[in-house]
Structure 1
Amino acid sequence: MQKEDSDSSFPLFDLEFQSTSKRMEMMFYNCYEEKIRPCIDLIDSLRKLGVDKDLNLPAIAVIGDQSSGKSSVLEALSGVSLPRGSGIVTRCPLELKLKKAKGSNVWKGKLTYGHCELDLTDPSEVEDQIRAAQNIMAGEGLGISHKLISLQIESSDVPDLTLIDLPGIARVAVGKQPVDIGDQIKELIKSFIKRQETINLVVVPCNVDIATTEALKMAQQVDPSGERTLGILTKPDLVDKGTESNVVDIVQNLVVELKKGYMIVKCRGQQEINDQLTLNEAIENERRFFEDHKDYRPLLDNKKATIPYLADRLTTELVAHIIQTLPELAKEVEEKLSATTKELERCGEGVPDTVHEKITFLIQKLNDFGQNLRSLSSGEEPDDCIKEQRCYAKVRNEFENWKCHLDRMKYQFYDMMHNKVMEYEKAYRGRELPGFINYKTFETIVKQQIVKLQLPAIQTLKKITEIVRDAFLDVAAYNFKGLPNLMRTAKIRTEDLRKQQESQAEIQLQIQFKIENVVYSQDSIYGQKLTKAKSISEEDSVQDVKSLKSDKFRFTFTSMPKNGATIHEMTTHLKIYFKIATERLANQVPLIIGYYILQEFATKLHIEMLQLIQEKDQIDEYLHEEIDIADKRKTLRNRHQRLAQAHDHLSKFY
């Protein structure tokens, strides 16, 4: 259809439609410019920045059953013809961005979908271009798509509104439609109307039972209180005579209550379209219809009827909704901006172009890697590298497990020591008289017990090596994210060094246990522990004797076995020495593992990686970046830019 000049437009936007004085009109216009327009402009500016890609902006979603009159309402509001026909006509969400132009006789449009952007110069282009866009986005046929098509219209004859037209609700598949088309449409509608930023505009024909309308049921599910839902009744001329009062009751909010209430409109019917009745003529006919109808006239007087009053109401509702949601919107923009900044930092600045800059970039990457390795080895790795628990904490747990194992072995040895000494006394005691300690027995038992600790120590080494290797690879992944060849090189060199460091640490542990075969302790240390042990033993003996004497039963004391004193003395010495040895090993094994597997491993790996700088012919290969990371960085930068600008716009508004 061709664009026409309007004799009567929306009451809020066409001053000639208002039956008020020139002075009142000017006061209203000034109020509009001062209070309403800034809110609309703010949201428009955020949409222009593309912030609606990152968060939900205040909007009005239009839903209704098929043939509810939804398209007719949108046509009347937008001033353009939209796709019509039987079955599913709206196959993609259609965002109608309406902006009232300040000048007269202005009309320009823009259709955006996917990566396409099409400028429109005449309203007659809209219908065919939307059909073509739907075929591209949803495919040829009768299927639907969640992908949004955006139609922006700037005109002298439209209100400042953003409306989202959603597919009409279908109950059963028809013809070649997918069998689950009804469920698909409901899922699509729900994804929009559940948003707290959205006002739900539910279109219902007057000649159906409103209580059973699927669109209203869906709106009530996501908005039980009706705070975000406005009902629109259509086709008032099709109700049976005598039932008009039922329609009036609905509009008066007496049947199915909604906090935003209802309005009623009469748009062009199919016959009027066939007769080429213009939209402006249809609006004039609508006004006369309500003025001349005895039941509906009060609704017009209360501004609850006609498209112009609907436009007025929707603009008021949208502005109020914008004002209500702005604090939360500002908070969400700030949070998303912060999150995007952190994510962008993790992606890094990207590989530079010149050779000199690439070398500097690689050096910085490798130095950061080395610094993070040193931090890890001292228990201070970056938080982003930590998956569940710090590497050093895991290592300390393994060291604690080693200490607990030593304690268990010590007490097990104490439990079986008496029998062990008896066995060795029988086998190895020579010409010593009773009461003399056989040093060979002492030394043999000590060595046998110490050697049992070597395998658990090596097992501890292997567990810790795996922990550290995995942690080093996590640090490499953190530092070399998006650089697969550099990451692969780090992984290879980490694995090679792991084997080397584990082998050296194992050799050192074996040496440590060979050293422990040399039975030795400082005299002063051994003497102090022996004196303390004997003192405790004597106190226990005195207490035992006192206990026996006080017992009312009589006991017969027998003499100690002929070698009892020797065995008692031997077990005391064994306990003391084994305690000294296990205390030494409790510290020495972790020191050896910590040095070779944490400290030296980290240092050597950093040095190994720094040697890559010498391979100048390989630098481009090492710095080859994943395409996905480059694309992600670009996407994040664009998001960061628009969110930062949105933050500035919101700050200025407040």
Structure 2
Amino acid sequence: MGDSSYLNQHYEEHVRSRIDLVNSLMSLGVEQDLSLPAIAVIGDQSSGKSSVLEALSGVALPRGTGIVTRCPLVLQLKRASHGTAWSGRLSYQGYEVGLEKPEDVGDEVIEAQNTLAGEGHDISDKKINLEIFASNVPDLTLIDLPGIARVATGNQSDNIDEKIKKLILQYIKQQETIILVVVPANVDIATTEALRMAKTVDPEGQRTLGILTKPDLVDKGAEEGVVKTLNNQAIRLEKGYMVVRCRGQKDITDGMSLDKSLQKEREFFSNHMNFRIFLDERKASIPHLSEKLTKELVYHIGRSIPLLERQVIDKLEQTSTQLKLLGDRIPEDEAGRVKFLTGKILEFTQVLTNVVRAEEDLEDSDTRVFTKIRNLFKVWKAELDEKDKRLKRKMDAAAMKEYAEQHRGKELPGFLNYRIFEDLVKGHVKELEVPALDLLRCCKDIICMNVSEITTKFFEIYPYLMREVRINLEKLRDQEYKRAEKKLKSQFAMEKMVYSEDGLYIEKFLVVKSETEADKKSNSKDSDFDGTTQHLRAYLKITTDRLVNQVPLIVLHHMLDQYIGQMKEAMLGILTHKKFEKFTEERSDVAQERKNLRSRMERLEEARQALNSFVPV
């Protein structure tokens, strides 16, 4: 690769600083979080992709039939000063091995692929990093991706083609990625799957560069089509096309060195009637491709740095927000855990207190619990009023006379004994008991759902604590619900006893009498029962007034004040529970997520520092 003297020292520093910046970001692993400028190399199987990479890197990569590249291979080429011995380093998933000579590369890559993708022909999306330090390589980073298979062969999975395309798309769909499409010169480029895939993600060809290989295999007389492609007159790409001639299998078998291959390549293009013009235009040969790729990548990196800085800042903010949503990490020492859990419980009980006071935060709901319950109480009041209206319509003098006749004992005409009056009261009260119990159940559901949501919000990531809290909640809920139910039934049992304070009763009777005064003439022939009807309506109004307030008071007392009030006491008792240490254990997935987020924060912080300290040469 001695033809690389086109780079002067200043340009070398300019190139190295930018590529080193991206390589350092890659080594931090930030490509998991944001898209880094890169060159992805794709091609159909047997397109000559491996030969191009070998020529650029100066090392022999795995060769063979079928899928040879089975994992993404990040090839980091770093130019060393003249006279520096060749060295390399291969790493993947925490494993790292030093390489002393180029011949070691192929076997190590195969072993890495077998480890990540298994023995055979399957693929994996796990990356292998290969760093090469040599005086005869350009400063360049390339990502080699599996060759596109048309159909499964041998022991390959039936959907191997879909898996490969999915993996390739993960890389080439990123707008920060330059797509290097390798296509044999002796085939119709319009039929190649690699170029078709590049077009799907880069339809205008803004970031795609075409590389034609195997020009020596082009049939005589077919050179015009290759020339047309190289002149960007076939399928247009903004970055155009280049052509290279690499070692073939016979050259490798004959032991031809890469340096000798470069010499033969130059001779081929220099002596070719149709292609030599492209050598002069720097569109042919591996050295010119090396130069082109380096310039493209360096330009791409320089243009991407401001965007990377913004992305890092945005990702840091997002990650910080996600960590806050997970809450503070539990201290490891016992005193710290006690303090942490005490604070958590006090905060929880304060939120419950706010629910009772109708002062809870509305960030997760647009209606407070007390407001929802109050709306149910309005429905209860409306139901009582409606029953009162229906009773008024039913209790005219004619109806009362008919009822009295049906239930009459020894009474003389016009009389209604006390037992009949009491039966009417009991019948009316009985109709109200079921709606009252329904009201209790609905209010319980609203309150318990809200308390459950609060509990989940506070303790979901602490499974043992969550279980203990829910046990206490259910126990107190059932206890207070039963007490409220018992008290309501007791209330309705008492309502079946006819009683009212005399002054209150007379006051209510006079109001009813005044309301029905105008109806006396029309009911004059049944006037014997007018007074009885008025007495009954007056008493039932008193019953209604009692129930419209008493039922909600019973509900509120037991399902809010007592239920939540006792919950606060039960929560404080957790601090002395024998399973206290268990209560501070996080759910395993949350602990892992917290670890991942902290790890992301660390690498993004390092990435920000690297970007901030970068000084363009």
> Where does 1:258-297 land on structure 2 (aligned, <5 Å)?
258-297=237-276
- CA distance in 2: counterparts of 1:649 and 1:575, whole angstroms: 86
Deviates more, 1:446-455 or 1:203-212: 446-455
Q: Against the structure 1 CA distance between its residues 246 and 601, is the aligned structure 2 distance closer, same or farther, given a 3 Å change threshold? A: same
Q: Against the structure 1 CA distance between its residues 78 and 507, is the aligned structure 2 distance closer, same or farther, given a 3 Å change threshold? A: same
Residues 1:8 and 2:3 are matched in the alignment: yes
Shift of 1:216: 1.2
> Where does 1:591-606 land on structure 2 (aligned, <5 Å)?
591-606=553-568
Residues 1:316 and 2:278 are matched in the alignment: no
Shift of 1:219: 1.8
- CA distance in 2: counterparts of 1:225 and 1:372, whole angstroms: 57
Equivalent residue in structure 2 for 1:610, among 559, 572, 577:
572
1:158 matched to which residue of 2?
137
> Where does 1:168-183 land on structure 2 (aligned, <5 Å)?
168-183=147-162
> Where does 1:250-261 land on structure 2 (aligned, <5 Å)?
250-261=229-240
- CA distance in 2: counterparts of 1:461 and 1:60, whole angstroms: 68
CA contact under 8 A between 1:340 and 1:636: conserved in structure 2?
Answer: yes
What do the CA deviations read for 1:331-371 (whole angstroms, capped 9, x no partner)?
A: 54344333332332344444433332232233223223222
Aligned-pair identity (%): 44
- CA distance in 2: counterparts of 1:647 and 1:417, whole angstroms: 84
Equivalent residue in structure 2 for 1:232, among 178, 193, 211:
211
- CA distance in 1: counterparts of 2:532 and 2:58, whole angstroms: 107
Shift of 1:265: 1.7
Deviates more, 1:582-591 or 1:359-368: 582-591
CA contact under 8 A between 2:244 and 2:265: conserved in structure 1?
Answer: yes
1:497 matched to which residue of 2?
476
TM-score (structure 2 length as normaliser):
0.86
- CA distance in 2: counterparts of 1:134 and 1:467, whole angstroms: 57
Shift of 1:158: 3.3
Shift of 1:63: 1.2
Shift of 1:51: 1.1
- CA distance in 1: counterparts of 2:453 and 2:286, whole angstroms: 62
- CA distance in 1: counterparts of 2:138 and 2:385, whole angstroms: 83
SS class of match (2:112): helix
What do the CA deviations read for 1:469-504 (whole angstroms, capped 9, x no partner)?
A: 344343333323443222221121111111111122
Shift of 1:82: 1.1
What do the CA deviations read for 1:101-121 (whole angstroms, capped 9, x no partner)?
A: 567626443322233233334
* AA at the equivalent of 2:2: D
* AA at the equivalent of 1:63: I
Equivalent residue in structure 2 for 1:508, among 474, 487, 500:
487
Q: Against the structure 1 CA distance between its residues 608 and 249, is the aligned structure 2 distance closer, same or farther, given a 3 Å change threshold? A: same
TM-score (structure 1 length as normaliser):
0.81
Q: Against the structure 1 CA distance between its residues 451 and 128, is the aligned structure 2 distance closer, same or farther, given a 3 Å change threshold? A: same
Q: Against the structure 1 CA distance between its residues 642 and 411, is the aligned structure 2 distance closer, same or farther, given a 3 Å change threshold? A: farther
Q: Against the structure 1 CA distance between its residues 644 and 601, is the aligned structure 2 distance closer, same or farther, given a 3 Å change threshold? A: farther
SS class of match (1:632): helix
2:591 matched to which residue of 1?
630
Shift of 1:625: 4.0
Q: Against the structure 1 CA distance between its residues 531 and 213, is the aligned structure 2 distance closer, same or farther, given a 3 Å change threshold? A: same
Q: Against the structure 1 CA distance between its residues 337 and 398, is the aligned structure 2 distance closer, same or farther, given a 3 Å change threshold? A: farther
Deviates more, 1:513-522 or 1:159-168: 513-522
What do the CA deviations read for 1:291-337 (whole angstroms, capped 9, x no partner)?
A: 33232233233332222332333333334444555555445434433
Shift of 1:71: 0.8
- CA distance in 1: counterparts of 2:559 and 2:150, whole angstroms: 67
CA contact under 8 A between 1:91 and 1:138: conserved in structure 2?
Answer: yes
What do the CA deviations read for 1:108-140 (whole angstroms, capped 9, x no partner)?
A: 433222332333343322211110011111111
Matched positions, count: 612
Deviates more, 1:574-583 or 1:63-72: 574-583
Equivalent residue in structure 1 for 2:340, among 361, 364, 378:
361
1:191 matched to which residue of 2?
170
RMSD over aligned Cα atoms: 3.8
CA contact under 8 A between 2:71 and 2:126: conserved in structure 1?
Answer: yes
What do the CA deviations read for 1:381-430 (whole angstroms, capped 9, x no partner)?
A: 6789x599876666556555545544554554455444764544544799
Instruction: Give the unaligned 5+ runs of structure 2.
Output: none
CA contact under 8 A between 1:437 and 1:566: conserved in structure 2?
Answer: no
CA contact under 8 A between 1:333 and 1:646: conserved in structure 2?
Answer: yes
Shift of 1:442: 6.5
> Where does 1:82-97 land on structure 2 (aligned, <5 Å)?
82-97=61-76
- CA distance in 2: counterparts of 1:389 and 1:286, whole angstroms: 78
> Where does 1:2-401 land on structure 2 (aligned, <5 Å)?
6-9=1-4, 16-17=5-6, 25=8, 29=10, 33=13, 39-101=18-80, 105=84, 107-326=86-305, 329-378=308-357, 386=364, 395=373, 398-399=376-377, 401=379
CA contact under 8 A between 1:99 and 1:160: conserved in structure 2?
Answer: yes
- CA distance in 2: counterparts of 1:456 and 1:576, whole angstroms: 22
> Where does 1:547-586 land on structure 2 (aligned, <5 Å)?
560-564=522-526, 582=544, 585-586=547-548
* AA at the equivalent of 1:145: S
- CA distance in 1: counterparts of 2:609 and 2:380, whole angstroms: 58
Shift of 1:606: 2.1
Shift of 1:207: 0.3
CA contact under 8 A between 1:530 and 1:573: conserved in structure 2?
Answer: no
Deviates more, 1:217-226 or 1:124-133: 217-226
Shift of 1:534: 5.5
